[in-house]
Amino acid sequence: MFPAAFDYTAPGALDEVLSLLSQHGDDAKVLAGGQSLIPLLKLRFAAPVILVDIGRVDGLEGIRRENGHVRIGARTRHRDVESATELRGTLDVLLDAAPLISDPLIRNMGTVGGSICHADPAGDWGAVMLAVGAEFVVKSASGERVLPAAGFFEGPFTTGLRSDEVMTEIRIPVGSGRSGGTYLKLERKVGDFASVATAVHVVLGGDGRIAAAGIGLCAVGAHSIKATAAEAALVGQAPSDELIAEAARLAGDAAEPKADIRGSAEYKRDVARVFVQRGLHTAINRAQGATA
Amino acid sequence: MAVTSMIGARIQRREDPKLITGHGNFIDDVSLVNMAHMSVVRSPHAHARIRSIDTSRALASKGVVAVLTAADFKGVILGPLPVTNSFVADKKQVPEQFPIAAEEAVYAGEPVAVVIADDRYLADDAAQLVSVDYEPLPAVMDLEKAMEPGSPLVKSDRPDNIGWDAAFPAGDIDAAFAEADFVLKERIGQQRVFPTAMETRGCVADYVPYDNRCTLWTSTQVPHFIRLFVGGALGVPESQFRVVSHDVGGGFGAKLRPYPEEYLATAASKITERPVKWIEDRTESLQATTHGRGQIFDVEVAAKRDGTLLGLKFTQLLDIGAYHGVFSAFQVVACLLGGGCYEWKAINARSIGIFTNRMSTDPYRGAGRPEATHLVERVVDLVAREIGMDPAEVRRKNFITAFPHTNNFGLVYDSGEYEKSLDRAMANIDYPALRKRQEELRAQGRYTGIGFSTYVEICGLGPSSATAPAAGIALVESSMVRVHPAGSVTVSVGTHAHGQSHETTFAQIVADTLGVPYDSVEIRHGDTGDTPFGYGTYGSRSLAVGGMAIMASCHKVVEKAKKLAAHAFEASEEDIVVDHGRYFVRGNPGEAKALAELAFASYGAGLPEGMEHGLEAVSYFDPPNFVWPFGCHICAVEVDPETGAVSIDRYVAVDDCGNVINPMVVDGQLHGGIAQGISQALFEEVQYDDATGQMLTGTMLDYLIPTMAEMPHFELDRTVTPSPTNELGVKGIGEAGTIASSIAVINAITDALAPFGIKHVEMPARPDRLWSMIKEARA
């Protein structure tokens, strides 16, 4: 519970951050909210040579709607998403997920981008971003890249982010259709990682059929999972109990859980199915009640 | 003028302003000049031979003062850790435990070396450089396999893995079973749990070499006990060894023994001639602070179809861990209380203590009584289910009703009114309406359940006539009451507090008994340098035993004050009336002296012939019996059959702890106690890998401590049946909540799952466990 020695720096400009990252490579670690990194340091699971604190860099926080996207600064706190009630009706799944992240103390400090980049398989934002089809803006000294959420998560704590890059923004496309979504999470207690969680986001067309569907699964695999077969089964269809049950079954099949102290693989897979089923009912009900 | 009737007043804790503004004085707040820091190198193996230890790289590390292994402590620590004989005087095997492993490590987390360095970071850095060559040996983890002849051994120098095997027969069990209409069998587990204190353990040892004197600051429930044993093992007489324990952030039974690290830090201070501080981190705490429970009960009950309970047979298999806890065998008390608050013709109990390659178990809040309550309350529900009778009515039919009541094992329940608390709790939860609602919801495919726990427990440990033969120590308690010349009062006690509010409640007692202002009374505890010897705080004993020791000293002070008043008024002592701290001659209340005036006189000139100066008294109290709190808890739950998740809808408790000194403190103890019992029922479990003996729950990410969000609103109520055992009429409340609550939750879950034919649910009732049971039942 006492970390190994490390250097610490808190640059005031993004350029300095990027320069330090290119200089130190894997020896450096970016510190944002610290809610995952600090425990890892204390347990000596991580022992970086230098911590680059991005807390003093301007322009990395805030939620705004621009050019058909909701843009979330990477250092935006979970708490700020929780209170962004203007997203209700557009991105319900974000608003439902945010208050289920750990506890208020962690939500006040932890950041959306930090959580995504940390890529814990039981991190909540990964599944949400997969469901809403987000893109991640990442910068390095050599330039900027935009990475889609689908494909970003490669394994436990492993992503497409290079060691010289820092995430600056999350972009979520928002169209004109009626949308609804929700996030359901089974946690053993408040503050625990999810045993299973599911993110669901649907958009209804003018004909009442499902125009787009996103389903993200949390804590049931080596990384956050996009349930693509289930999504495909929904698109173009008129909502029905049978359709939802079938999509939920496909989502359960997409899960790749491992048995641990939170339950057997069979159990987690079935809870994923149950939650996608419940989540789709809620999401579609919300979308049907929404105005385009 | 004295405030009257402080006893019974709902006043706020005087401890709180200090604690909630960050002015508490916990173990990590102690800092001494030239203080070094200790990091403990622990065995990562559940069982391994230590081939060699290479300390050279650690010694060369920055800031390191010393790296010490068992060889270095030999000749400094002169004896093993203590073990008491609670309830099992003829233990089969009492292996000696030294504070540090020499040749064989027998649990994951056992100390094998310590690093002393200038700060804790440097000490931890160097600890990683201590190289220990281990030869892993088979880990003994399964209780039943450990008992088999030929089982691998927990430690290679032992004949087998049995710590004790004790029978507790009471009555003609065969006759009781012969009379039965039916016999039911069940296996009921008590998983290992961790007595999670907000403040982990820790100590600061300051050995002064030139006069063989030592001060040990430590986070403990038992400062005098620590002095006796750590001082003894270090060869420092009690007069030279001072143990200081300021504020203690929780103990729950896990801080009522001397621990290896207290010996090691003290010895390290002696070796390095520097004060040495050790603060346990949370992972160390989960590994190396004693665990609770860890038991399996195989039970058979004999009963009649009309609900009459006849006979109870059970065997307690108790996971001792690698070494006996100091009080581990105390948990055998579950055998003597397994009958609960019911009449039985006969009970036949047996306890087998089994060594495994795990951390020791020792008392944890309730210690034996939660196990007994869980057992008997589960059994009563099994009987009710079998005969289709309301569980409340089976209880009512078999309650003990006449007091004092001698139970099957000869223990005497002092007072009780069990049916009254059951009736009150049923009324408070509106039981008929709840049952009706359950029926309606079941028709909708929703699964709600109602669970009862009607408990009786033993506390106020305890009379020397019982504790000395059972445990080898006479659990009396002490006090010193001193009235200073200007009237303020210092009360020093042998008990300690780790959240029990003694500074408030003891002062309430003294204020009333001496008739002095509450604010003029100071309670001192925790420092062996200025308190009389006492056995400390556990077993809900501090009020019923320690409080009575205070009463005894107060009475002596009042007696002397009466003599002083008689002298001042030139009256006969028999004519002095004492009324709320005012002393006057009968018939003349207008001319009275306050205790402060008499105290001033007691230090002055012109005392009565033969009277010594001063106004103070020392007392030791040995209670005539234990005290027996009781009550009824009812829990209402709903289970989600698709995920197995449990939600608690209502929690009603009616407790009876005799007379109440401070209702707010009693409520607080109940809140914490009930939460811990619910937590065992639903969340907590210390898990080790069965094959390797590695701890799987080594951080708070894995080991579940619930938060406020998981707890229902506690609907508390009480009945008051004064104890005839002591003058205050008090019992105890520190453990009652925990004793009662786990089974109320489990019985409610079992009731909710009755439509699936599920009759028994083990703890913790994790969602995945319930999901599997429901799935199996549906198949």
Number of A to B CB contacts under 8 A, please give it.
61
**Residues on chain B touching A190 (C-beta within 8 angstroms):** 707, 709-710
pLDDT in tens, B284-340: 999 999 999 999 999 999 999 999 999 999 999 999 999 999 988 888 999 999 999
Element (H, E) at B556: helix B548-569
- CB distance from A160 to chain B under 8 Å? no
Hunting for tokens 């109940």 — which residue is that?
A: B670
Please spell the DSSP secondary structure of B256-275, one letter per residue. Answer: SS--HHHHHHHHHHHHHTS-
pLDDT at B362 over 90: yes
Please spell the DSSP secondary structure of B604-625, one letter per residue. Answer: SS-PPTTPPSS-EEEEEE--SS
- Cis omega before residue B755 (within 30°)? no
Hunting for tokens 């497409």 — which residue is that?
A: A160
Is residue B48 within 8 Å of B104, Cβ to Cβ? Answer: yes
pLDDT in tens, A33-85: 999 999 999 999 999 999 999 999 999 999 999 999 999 999 999 999 999 99
Q: Can you read off the two tokens belonging to residue B297?
A: 């009960």
Does one domain contain both A120 and A37?
no
For residue A146, the enclosing domain spans 63-173
Those residues whose C-beta lies under 8 Å from the C-beta of residue B20, and which sit 6 or more positions away, are none
CATH number at residue A254: 3.30.390.50
Residue A2 lies in a domain: no
Domain end: A173, A197, A218, which one? A173
Residue A58 lies in a domain: no
The CATH code belonging to domain B399-460+627-779 is: 3.30.365.10
Cβ contact (<8 Å) for A1 and B282? yes
CATH number at residue A11: 3.30.43.10
pLDDT in tens, B625-634: 999 999 999 9
List helix spans (H) across B297-342: 333-336
**Residues on chain B touching A189 (C-beta within 8 angstroms):** 683, 704-707, 709-710
Does one domain contain both A105 and A68?
yes
Q: Which of A173, A248, A246, A249 is nearest to A211 (CA)?
A: A173
Query: Do the domains B16-21+477-621 and B33-139+196-288 sit in the same CATH topology, yes or no?
Result: no
Interface subset of A 53-112, CB within 8 angstroms of B = 103
Average confidence (pLDDT) over B731-759: 98
- Cis omega before residue B764 (within 30°)? yes
Element (H, E) at A153: strand A153-155
Q: Beta strands of B219-260 (E only): which ranges?
A: 241-244
> Per DSSP, what are the bridge partners of residue A70?
A65, A172
pLDDT in tens, B96-106: 999 999 999 99
Burial (0-12, 13-18, 19+ Cβ within 10 Å), A99: middle
Which homologous superfamily is B33-139+196-288 in? Aldehyde oxidase/xanthine dehydrogenase, a/b hammerhead (3.90.1170.50)
How far apart CA B226 and CA B238 sit, in angstroms, is 10
Per DSSP, B688 falls in state: B
Does one domain contain both A135 and A187?
no
The class that CATH gives domain B16-21+477-621 is alpha beta
Query: What is the ipTM metric for this complex?
Result: 0.94
**Residues on chain B touching A263 (C-beta within 8 angstroms):** 766-768, 771
* pLDDT confidence bin for B88, thresholds 50/70/90: confident
Does one domain contain both A37 and A72?
no
What is the pLDDT, as a whole number, of residue B470?
A: 76
- Give the residue numbers in B contacting A (CB under 8 Å), as ranges: 120-121, 124-125, 128, 281-283, 642-645, 683, 687, 696-697, 699, 701-702, 704-707, 709-710, 766-768, 771-772
What is the pLDDT, as a whole number, of residue B3?
A: 43
Cβ contact (<8 Å) for B771 and A192? no
Residue A82 lies in a domain: yes
Write down the pTM of the prediction.
0.96
Q: Which of B630, B625, B655, B619 is nearest to B724 (CA)?
A: B625
> Per DSSP, what are the bridge partners of residue A242?
none
Single-letter code of the amino acid located at B488: S
Domain end: A139, A157, A173, which one? A173
Number of neighbouring beta carbons within 10 Å of residue A289: 10
What is the pLDDT, as a whole number, of residue B472?
A: 76
How far apart CA A108 and CA A106 sit, in angstroms, is 5
Split into its structural domains, chain A has a count of 3
Is residue A126 within 8 Å of A223, Cβ to Cβ? Answer: yes
Q: Which of B109, B104, B44, B87 is nearest to B360 (CA)?
A: B109
What is the pLDDT, as a whole number, of residue B1?
A: 37
What is the pLDDT, as a whole number, of residue B219?
A: 98
Does one domain contain both A88 and A116?
yes
How far apart CA B40 and CA B372 sit, in angstroms, is 37
Residue of B nearest to A260 (CA): B696
Q: Beta strands of B232-345 (E only): which ranges?
A: 241-244, 276-279, 292-303, 309-321
| Percent above pLDDT 70 for chain B | 99
Hunting for tokens 């690290």 — which residue is that?
A: B261
Cβ contact (<8 Å) for B697 and A261? yes
* pLDDT confidence bin for B264, thresholds 50/70/90: very high
Does one domain contain both A255 and A269?
yes
